[in-house]
Structure 1
Amino acid sequence: MSKSANGNSYAAKDIVALEGLEPVRKRPGMYIGGVGSAGLHHLIWEIVDNSVDEAMNGHASEITVTLHKDASTISVSDNGRGIPIDKHPQTKKPALEMVLTVLHAGGKFEGNNYKTAGGLHGVGASVVNALSKELTAVVRRDGSQFRMTFSKGVPTSKLQKLRGTVRGSGTMITFTPDPTIFPKTTFDSDTIRHRLETASFLHRGLKVTFVDETQGTKQTYLHEEGIVDYLRKVLKDRNAKPIHEAPFTLNQDADPRMEITLQWTESTDEHIRSYVNGIPTGSGGTHENGFRGGLTKAVRNYIDTHNLTPRGVKISPEDIREGLVAIVSVFISEPQFQGQTKDRLNNPEVQAAVEGVVRPSAEQWMNNNRSIADSIVARIIAAARARAASRAASEAVSRKTAGKRSLLPGKLSDCISTGKGYSELFIVEGDSAGGSAKQGRDRNTQAILPLRGKVLNTESATLKKILENKEIQDMIAALGCGIGANMNVASLRYDRVILLADADSDGHHITTLLLTFFYRHMPQLIADGRLFIAVPPLYRIDIGKETYWAADEAHREEILAQHGGRAKPEITRFKGLGEMMPNVLWETTLNPATRKLEKVEIDDHLETDRVISDLMGRDASARFRFIMDRAEDAVEIDV
């Protein structure tokens, strides 16, 4: 018998073989990306994608999703062929049971039933079943209706043939997530609505209905112009003004089938939404790379052909795509996604295929629309000149704030373990709060950088103005990893970056401004899970000899409801972090053993981009609409 490094025995008996759907319940993150909000909603997408696959292959025309009154139960129905219910020749079990209880069991492997599909792993439906407290499948086939129920991936009934005859065919899956797996099982109506409307854009003629019983509403989406309608909506949502009227559109029915539409706008960023077989690929992939490469080559060829190359400035691919808003949708028979969550396409052959179609099509469109093309080129040249000026400003700031210890900000109170082991930087609102934090911190692992006043709104400022801002210069210098395209996370001087502001509305505003900066200019911190928000208390509640800390009004009322009956409570509202004693700040907010941190995560990159653009951008009309739509929800305003 062999021995492990610590001397314990390690033999065959120590090898655990999980059977059935046990691996899914043991490690749900491997299949749905996590058990947070994104993972919870991913359960819906798995079932909806199966219905969309039926529609993509000409077997369904309608999909209905119902959010039931408890906000934790979902029904997805379609008028497709219905999951087969006859017994499988090998297992002697109904095919419906196999699809819902066996990993890698499905009808998408051979290609006879599905030419294109969002999922080829045979995992989605069984994963949803494994992670559901209850799941009911109802199938309509051949004039009859069949029903089977499950709990946590295990059948709780046999396949039952229901009485009576029914018209048509289709499948309805109703499920409730398991609260022992998910900390929160309440679905968000807006998230579902956004995804379903997107599906109707990507599949012309598909009727998608969302019934929201929690709000008593029913919405139906049907878009005959498909992604062209989608582009109009994206432009409107982003308040992006196009510089040319007619968009470029590309439709290819040959394999790989692709639909692309785009317009250049006056915005200063690039915005591409890409999809594979109707699945959003937030992290891009080979199809998106092929689109970018083909478009860049087409524009360069046009510029060279018509002798439009500017003097004294070099045009980069980023200049060409600045202000671009595009929808890229491809359909392929055997997609290779990165992970079960299908966030990135990996098929290498797709890049060349997409580039080979986009380059000649876009070049021909530009040559046939010279006035449009010339306005696009003028916009690209202006972007190149602006980028050159910003680059010069960035280099000037970099020379002043190089990541050397001797050139770190004077008000930074660094920690001893920087660059050697675990360490964290607290970016603190105000010099007063910074003083308390410096005294209360653990000097070995915790660094403090106080910021003065409101942080610059980087969403509505130029890069030159951003890099000239003293507070932002201090943050860049303290972190030591650069920003934007020059950012190198390996050079980050701390393992964690924690935003620490007052618990009131002003503090929330400052946190939002900082989040905007990091999302736009240091997004890798968020992607790597290194950015956090500290949750300091807003109230101190003394009840008898016990002291409680409440983060907000709701938390205060919860504490009073639980403990207020024992003695008369004394409630103190903090005006800010600066009035907390260092030991109190340590106990409530800095001490890793007792504090609460919220990790900054992006569930939906597209929705996050829209929200930041609306709430922090230059156009105030979006904020006005937001406030007016939600004015009735404001019960107590902190002023």
Structure 2
Amino acid sequence: MSTVAKEYSAKDIVALEGLDPVRKRPGMYIGGVSAAGLHHLVWEIVDNSVDEAMNGHASEIKVTLHKDGQSVSVSDNGRGIPVDKHPKTKKPALEMVLTVLHAGGKFDGNNYKTSGGLHGVGASVVNALSKEMVAVVKRDGIQYRMQFAKGIPQTKLQKLKGAVRGTGTTITFSPDPTIFPKTDFDSATIRTRLETASFIHRNLKVTYVDEVQGTTETFQHEQGIVDYLAQVLKERSAKPIHESPFILREDNSDRLEVVLQWTESTDEHVRSYVNGIPTASGGSHETGFRGGLTKGVRNYIDTHNLTPRGLKISHEDIREGMVAIVSIFTAEPQFQGQTKDRLNNPEVQPLVEGAVRPALEQWMNNNRSVADFIVARIIAAARARAASRAASDAISRKGGSKRTMLPGKLSDCVSGGRGESELFIVEGDSAGGSAKQGRDRNCQAILPLRGKVLNTECATVKKMLENKEIQDMLTAIGCGIGGNVDLANLRYDRVILLADADSDGHHITTLLLTFFYRHIPQLISDGRLFIAQPPLYRIDLGKETFWAADEADRDRILAEYTGRSLPEITRFKGLGEMMPKVLWDTTLNPATRRLLKVEIDDHLETDRVISDLMGRDASARFHFIMDRADEVEVLDV
């Protein structure tokens, strides 16, 4: 360490003036000099034009990406930036707006009721970070022009010859390559932002000219965020569970617009905006929206006593599958930083919550059939989340005692990789013996189960994980359970349920389906769970043999038979009495078998049916039987 300290005095203190702070530390103003920062320049200029439209002074905005791909023009038909001289500085107002930080018309609240620009730095920041900027203003029938480079005026304010109609502002700029590593704009990014602006600001006409691609598009939406929601659902391939969305439009001291729909998706998706500015990090308006949503739905559920006994519904369950657009316009927004990606106004939260809760509750009460369908979806999410959480907790408690050896009853296939391998979960040891002898050992594994498996809809997770048959299935399949499911660890390409073709076999298949639906639903959604279709009847017609899956299939075959010999019909008591070759030919052979892929078209209906038929509450089954008792033709007891 040096014994002589370096002198540190007043002359070492640097005071940056004008726009120098922006060029020295651009990240403070635009978040960085990456692609996001580069495009933020466009957003700053576009937002100024949108502010004119938001306050009723403009109806059209035009953005042009020029042929070089590195320069952009933004035009509007607003009032035009003032050009008269400022009383204090004696400089044209246009020059002040574009060269002085914190100079603008949005501080006194007289010219702009609401705006995205608040700090008076946006346009001047863009000017500072541009190698060239040209501003053209139309006011009072005259067109004015002023040119800048790196924030420094290159010309005085010029009056262009010839009279012009209308008013407005056009800003053309080219980012400075000494500031930005890459100065090529991405057309798709600009297009998306402009289309979003047309959604948020109803009836605003936004034109985008891409001279690089030679295309021109105009965006204008009468329904605003309602149209936006429809597009977001389409982009996300999210299928709504109800037709008409919830719409809230309030225009009091602050203007609030909300639109939402529940979908079949398992995630929540909210896009929020403040004065037209996207707030990717949310803020107090999003918090208020979520609070109002949760309370409104809870109030409806409690009022109508719709919560199943013993089931706790969380806010995650209520918001699962929800897609929403939230837009608020407020006079004094407090953003987190110049990039404005989060709203910090504490007073906005109760305002939004107080508007959303009663409106949503009233909408649900006025649309009972839709509301009950939404609640059914929420209950299904709560059940699935509870099962997943309980299974994960139970597995965590087991710790290092988890089974690592494959079950002894499993006859695994020879193939080491997953490839085209199949695991047959077979009803009974007898059927398992026939399947083991008849299978293709290279790619087909057999796991026999003993009798009827546990009804996991009624059993606790602890009891389920202690069940030997469940343990064997989980170990053989290998992908985990509940929140720990990882299909990358799945040991087989397909899992096939193979039970007798009679009513007992169908019951066993239903018990297994209940287990997979509740605890490993990913097998179903990924298209890896199947049900084998073994024959119930063998029908010999002369020299030909037919296999019938059930009575209807048997009757169809007999009806189509035109020969003279009497048919010989054999009904199988179970898979165990089939010869291995017969089981191979009818059920195991990929070339001749019939497999039924397990798919879910309606998650809500599936959840309801499983809950009614397999759950603890027997009243639903009682009513089902009593309502349909007269439909029974043959009772298999």
Same fold (TM over 0.5): yes
CA contact (8 A) 2:59 2:78 kept: yes
**Counterpart residue number, 1:207:** 205
What is the Cα-based RMSD across aligned positions, in Å?
Answer: 2.6
Residue 469 of structure 1: how far off its partner (Å): 2.8
2:388/2:483 contact within 8 Å kept: no
Q: Is the 8 A contact 2:175 2:183 kept in 1?
A: yes
Match of 2:269 in 1: 271
Q: Hey, what's the Cα distance between the residues in 2 that align with 1:379 and 1:5?
A: 74
Check the 8 A contact 2:127/2:151 in 1, yes or no. Answer: yes
Q: Give the whole-Å Cα distance in 1 for the aligned partners of 2:394 and 2:10.
A: 62
Partner Cα separation in structure 1 for residue 251 and residue 22 of structure 2: 38
Who is 1:391 aligned against? 389
Partner of 2:500: none
SS of the equivalent of 2:347 reads: helix
Q: Where do residues 346-361 of structure 1 align in structure 2 (5 Å cutoff)? A: 346-361=344-359
CA distance in 2, matches of 1:394, 1:472: 16
Aligned-residue offset at 1:89: 0.5
Mapping for residues 410-449 of structure 1, pairs under 5 Å: none
Q: Which amino acid counterpart does residue 469 of structure 1 have in structure 2?
A: D
Structure 1 stretches lacking a partner, 5+ long: 408-461, 474-617, 620-639
Q: Write out aligned runs for 1:451-530 (5 A).
A: 464=481, 467-469=484-486
What amino acid is the match of 1:73?
S
Query: 2:77 is aligned with what amino acid?
Result: N
Contact 1:466/1:472 (8 A) holds in 2: no
Match of 2:76 among 61, 74, 78: 78
Q: Structure 1 residue 323 and structure 2 residue 340: aligned?
A: no
- What stretches of structure 2 of length at least 5 have no aligned partner? 403-478, 491-599, 602-637
Q: 2:380 aligns with which of 375, 382, 405?
A: 382
Alpha-carbon shift at residue 76 of structure 1 (Å): 0.2
Matches within 5 A, 1:232-631: 232-396=230-394, 398=396, 464=481, 467-469=484-486
**2:36 and 2:6 mapped to 1: Cα distance?**
39
Match of 1:115 in 2: 113
Once the two structures are superposed, what CA deviation does each residue of 1:530-567 show, in whole Å capped at 9, x if it has no partner?
A: xxxxxxxxxxxxxxxxxxxxxxxxxxxxxxxxxxxxxx
Aligned to 2:89: 91
Q: Sort the Cα spacing of 1:135 and 1:472 in 2 relative to 1 into closer, same or farther, 3 A.
A: farther
Aligned residue in 2 for 1:25: 23
Contact persistence 2:388–2:482 (CA under 8 A): no
Structure-2 residue corresponding to 1:196 = 194
Distance 2:221 2:115 in 1: 21
- Deviation string, structure 1 residues 241-285 (Cα, Å, up to 9, x no partner): 111111100001111111110100000000000000000000000
Contact 1:390 1:463 in 2 (8 A): no
CA deviation map 1:147-167 (0-9, x unaligned): 000011111111100000000
CA contact (8 A) 2:389 2:482 kept: no
**Is the partner of 2:208 in helix, strand or coil?**
strand
* 2:7 matched residue in structure 1: 9
Alignment check: 8 A CA contact 2:391 2:482 kept: no
The 1:74–1:394 alpha-carbon spacing in structure 2 relative to 1, beyond 3 Å, is: farther
TM-fit CA distance, 1:6: 9.0
Give the number of aligned pairs. Answer: 418
What TM-score comes out, normalization by structure 2 length? 0.63
**Residues 473-512 of structure 1 deviation map (CA, whole Å, 9 limit, x = unaligned):** 9xxxxxxxxxxxxxxxxxxxxxxxxxxxxxxxxxxxxxxx
Distance 1:387 1:465 in 2: 9
Quick one: distance in 1 between partners of 2:62 and 2:481? 49
Q: How far did 1:390 drift?
A: 2.0
Q: 1:348 is paired with a residue of what secondary structure?
A: coil
Identity of aligned residues (%): 77
Distance 1:244 1:303 in 2: 17
Q: Give 1:177-188 correspondences, 5 Å limit.
A: 177-188=175-186
| Partner Cα separation in structure 2 for residue 10 and residue 175 of structure 1 | 41
The aligned residue for residue 149 of structure 2 is: 151
Q: Is the 8 Å Cα contact of residues 87 and 93 (structure 1) preserved in structure 2? A: yes
Larger Rg: 2
1:171 aligned partner, one-letter code:
T
Query: CA, structure 1 residues 365+83, in 2 after alignment: closer, same or farther (shift >3 Å)?
Result: same
TM-score for the superposition, normalised by structure 1: 0.63
CA deviation string 1:62-81 (max 9, x = no partner): 00000000100000000000
Report Cα offsets for 1:376-400 as digits up to 9, x if no partner.
Answer: 1010010011111222343356557
Deviations 1:163-188 (A, max 9, x none): 00000000000000000110000000
- 2:127 and 2:3 map into 1 onto residues whose CA distance is 39
Matches of 1:302 and 1:466 in 2, distance apart?
30
Q: Does 1:141 align with 2:158?
A: no
1:207 positional shift: 0.2
Residues 99-156 of structure 1, C-alpha deviations (whole Å, 9 max, x = no match): 0000000000001000000011001000000000100000000000000000111111
Deviating 4+ runs (over 6 angstroms): 470-473
Q: Secondary structure, in 3 states, of the residue corresponding to 1:47?
A: helix
Letter in 2 for 1:146: Y
User: Distance in 2 between the 1:222 and 1:273 partners?
Assistant: 19
| CA gap 1:15/1:306 in 2 versus in 1, 3 angstroms | same
**1:31-110 paired onto structure 2 within 5 Å:** 31-110=29-108
Q: Secondary structure at the match of 2:294?
A: helix
Closer/same/farther in 2, CA of residues 99 and 464 from structure 1, 3 Å limit: farther
User: SS of the counterpart of 1:337?
Assistant: coil
* Kept in 2: contact 1:397–1:468 (CA 8 A): no
Number of the residue aligned with 2:579: none
SS in 1 for 2:292: helix
The AA in structure 1 aligned to 2:177 is: P
1:11 deviation in Å?
1.9
Please name the residue that 1:533 is paired with: none
